Chain A
Amino acid sequence: MTKAKRKRLIYNLVTYALVIAAYIILQNMIGAKTISRSLKGLLVPICAWIIMAVSLNLVIGFSGELSLGHAGFMSIGAYTGAIISGWLLAAFDMQDPTLRLVLAIAGGGIVAGIFGVLIGIPVLRLRGDYLAIVTLAFGEIIRNLVNVLYVGTADGQLHFAFLNKKLPADVTMLVDGAKGAVKIKPISTFTVGFVLVMITLIVVLNLVNSRAGRAIQATRDNRIAAESMGVSVTKYKMMAFVTAAVLAGMAGALYGLNSSTVVPTQFTFNQSINVLVFVVLGGLGNVLGSVISATFLTVLPEVLREFADYRMLVYAVVLILVMIFTNNPLIRSVFGRAVAPVKGLFRGKKNSVSGGEA
């Protein structure tokens, strides 16, 4: 075993171990009822945001493409999940919530994956900021379309309508245009969320360390060199993009089924930006970093509640300061020397991303 390989193995094991340990501790706290309501309520969203961050990291950190429309895939997953779950309940009277949840998550992933392919084909022809803006555009288009989508179920059939609500009179509404997905029975659980996080980690870490993963990173680091070595750039970028879309769709289904309602306005451009913040703060290409920063930044605004009206102000200041402190070479070198021994263990692939090749 080479040194690099061993280092990677340790990094992966540490990542899995930390997530599992967190799960066990939290489960015990739930069992012993020592957990606060607020924290308990945050568990499923945290799982969903971790999956979002890790999957986006696959696109940005490993494949080197800046995507600003990740929330679009999440919304596809959330809507698909809500429709599947509502339909299974209404048409087949499927009472088992876990089975419904698993099917809904699978469905959310598949549909988001299909959209990932459809969007990926044109998008991956572009590079840099142009790619970024096109993903942003797709995210906004998805939101705009979902806003005029009506879905209902009657007699075991699903009915779809677009732009106007021309559905049979006796349908049970599942998606009601601007009112979003309605009357969802919340069935997401922390355990399913945890399993999904583990699946995401396994998929992403294995992909990154596989032959395909090395090809993806090669195209990031030097596209032309990779191409001349016979690596099919588009194929591998597509692989990363679609995998990320599937994972985001699954996260969306988990997230959507955690609430009684889902609205298009939850998946705006700002939400994509939030996930991007998780990824950059956690470190590009650093999976464990994404897990930690997604958790930290989801919990932070809740912890800041005591600042009341000032809390978003404080959040903004914290964000700016953290970025300056972790990225300024001078401050970083001082800070780096202090924590070097710890950091060496956790460091993933180092930065370098094509934010713009111009």
Chain B
Amino acid sequence: MKKLIALLLALALTLTVCAALAEEPVVLKIAHIGPTTGAAALYGLATQHGAEIAVDEINAAGGKYQIELITEDDEHNVEKVINAYNAALDAGAQMILGSTTSKPCEAAGAQGYVDRVFFLTPSASSTAVIEDKDNVFQVCFTDPNQGSASAQYIAEHKLGTKIAVIYNNADVYSTGIRDTFVEKAAEMGLEIVSEETFTDETTDFTVQVGKAQEAGAEIVFLPMYYTPASLILKTASDKNYKPIFFGVDGMDGILSVEGFDTSLAEGVMLLTPFVATSEDERVKSFVAKYQEKFNETPIQFAADAYDGIYILLAAAEKAGITAEMAPEEACDLLIAAMKEIQVDGLTGSMTWDESGAVTKTPMAATIVNGVYVFED
């Protein structure tokens, strides 16, 4: 009798376990790759943190999918990113959210193309990232897209005709936007009166700003991230030079730099898909969670990566990815799914085509009294 009861109990136990297993959510293994140390750590940490917020939300909601986030550091280095990528796959990653920066993403994406591994990059925006590779998709705009959109906006809104460009000639993002901006500007009848460069190590911008001033530029186009941009604004203010400064999405974040005198950025215009001070409910909630967890205001990179996790989730759902699927198996399914999904994220409503480039609308914003004001 005792044996029978034990047997029945065991049976019941097994059944419960089986039932529980049946409802067990699918755990997706996503690897975030980005520079979390070194000079570009700022961007890599932003995307990693943004992704963590999204993963926390998804796991807490307890839906069909749970996400295990693997994080690997690539030091913004073309050699190390391959190591990071290999380490991620060794750790069992099924798909990659990364890499954060363009050149490493280009290198790792090419390796992934050979190995058949799916990449969704939150923020690597050069065309080379997606060119000749069907496995890489972007959350952010490609650089040429931004360059021509900026020139078009300036011409259409008649902001001025004499334009100075200052760009980072050691940076793919900056040169990429500059190239198409100059091309489009010529087409739209805008005159480039001065063009000056700098590199990642530059701290002194007096010459670049001085030349723009000397050439009488009404608009200074700044295709760059906000760190050098803040130095340029400071230099211009020291020189009492007040043109319209026109930035791109890398400019977002300038208002949340700790200690930054926001009056320097008064009147700066930029095209961007995301601003942290937006009144949108989802943006507000994201910013609040981010500030609570990391004690910082998220920049656009963080929002891109946050969206990236939700995009991967949507694509995985569409493609029916399971926990056991190898990356090679998941890759083609995800590629097919990407072309069919539409995701409404913090950075807009997004769809994708064959090339891997995203379609979404940038918004033009002007900084007034230390906050962004959107144009219609």
**Which chain B residues numbered 43 to 73 have a C-beta less than 8 Å away from chain A?**
71-73
CA distance A179 to B128 in the complex (A): 9
User: Which chain A residues lie closer than 8 Å to B110 at the CB level?
Assistant: 186, 260-261
Is B251 an interface residue, CB under 8 A from the partner? Answer: no
Main secondary structure of the interface of A (DSSP, over half): helix
Is A85 an interface residue, CB under 8 A from the partner? Answer: no
A309 touches B170 (CB 8 A): no
Is A266 an interface residue, CB under 8 A from the partner? Answer: yes
CA distance A265 to B80 in the complex (A): 13
B107 touches A259 (CB 8 A): yes
Is B367 an interface residue, CB under 8 A from the partner? Answer: no
Known contacts A179-B128, A183-B132; decide if A262 and B78 are in contact (CB<8 Å).
yes
From B36, B89, B128, B168, contact of A182 by CB (8 A): B128
Is B37 an interface residue, CB under 8 A from the partner? Answer: yes
Is A61 an interface residue, CB under 8 A from the partner? Answer: no
CA distance A40 to B87 in the complex (A): 11
- Interface range on chain B (Cβ under 8 Å from partner): 20 to 34
User: Which chain B residues lie closer than 8 Å to A183 at the CB level?
Assistant: 128, 132
CA distance A308 to B80 in the complex (A): 14
**Which chain A residues numbered 154 to 207 have a C-beta less than 8 Å away from chain B?**
177-180, 182-183, 186
CA distance A278 to B273 in the complex (A): 45
**Shortest CB distance A155–B (Å):** 22
CA distance A179 to B175 in the complex (A): 8
Known contacts A38-B83, A309-B37; decide if A178 and B128 are in contact (CB<8 Å).
no
Known contacts A261-B106, A261-B107, A312-B37; decide if A178 and B90 are in contact (CB<8 Å).
no
**Which chain A residues numbered 31 to 63 have a C-beta less than 8 Å away from chain B?**
36-38, 40-42, 45
**Shortest CB distance A29–B (Å):** 14
B107 touches A302 (CB 8 A): no
What is the 8 Å Cβ interface bit string for chain B, positions 86-130, against chain A (1 contact, 0 not)? 110110000000000001001100110000000000000010100
Which has the most chain A C-beta neighbours within 10 Å: B72, B82, B111, B199?
Answer: B82
Known contacts A38-B86, A38-B87, A186-B110; decide if A45 and B170 are in contact (CB<8 Å).
no
Is A214 an interface residue, CB under 8 A from the partner? Answer: no
Number of interface residues of A (CB under 8 A): 32
From A261, A265, A301, contact of B128 by CB (8 A): A261
Is B292 an interface residue, CB under 8 A from the partner? Answer: no
A305 touches B72 (CB 8 A): yes
**Shortest CB distance B341–A (Å):** 28
**Which chain A residues numbered 123 to 147 have a C-beta less than 8 Å away from chain B?**
147
User: Which chain B residues lie closer than 8 Å to A301 at the CB level?
Assistant: 80
User: Which chain B residues lie closer than 8 Å to A311 at the CB level?
Assistant: 37, 73
Is B354 an interface residue, CB under 8 A from the partner? Answer: no
Is A263 an interface residue, CB under 8 A from the partner? Answer: yes
CA distance A178 to B85 in the complex (A): 24
Is A264 an interface residue, CB under 8 A from the partner? Answer: yes
B170 touches A178 (CB 8 A): yes
User: Which chain A residues lie closer than 8 Å to B87 at the CB level?
Assistant: 37-38, 302, 305
**Shortest CB distance B38–A (Å):** 8
Is B363 an interface residue, CB under 8 A from the partner? Answer: no
User: Which chain A residues lie closer than 8 Å to B111 at the CB level?
Assistant: 186, 260
6 contacts between A and B (CB under 8 A): A148-B169, A179-B103, A259-B78, A264-B170, A266-B78, A309-B73
Q: A147-B199, A182-B128 are in contact. List 17 more A-B contacts (CB 8 A).
A: A37-B90, A41-B83, A177-B169, A178-B168, A178-B170, A183-B128, A186-B111, A259-B107, A260-B111, A261-B103, A261-B128, A263-B78, A263-B172, A302-B87, A305-B73, A309-B37, A311-B73
Report which A residues bind B (CB closer than 8 A). Answer: 36-38, 40-42, 45, 147-148, 177-180, 182-183, 186, 255, 259-266, 301-302, 305, 308-309, 311-312
Report which B residues bind A (CB closer than 8 A). Answer: 36-38, 71-73, 77-80, 82-83, 85-87, 89-90, 103, 106-107, 110-111, 126, 128, 132, 168-172, 175-176, 199-200
The 3 A-B residue pairs with the shortest CB-CB distance, nearest first, are A260-B110, A37-B86, A41-B86
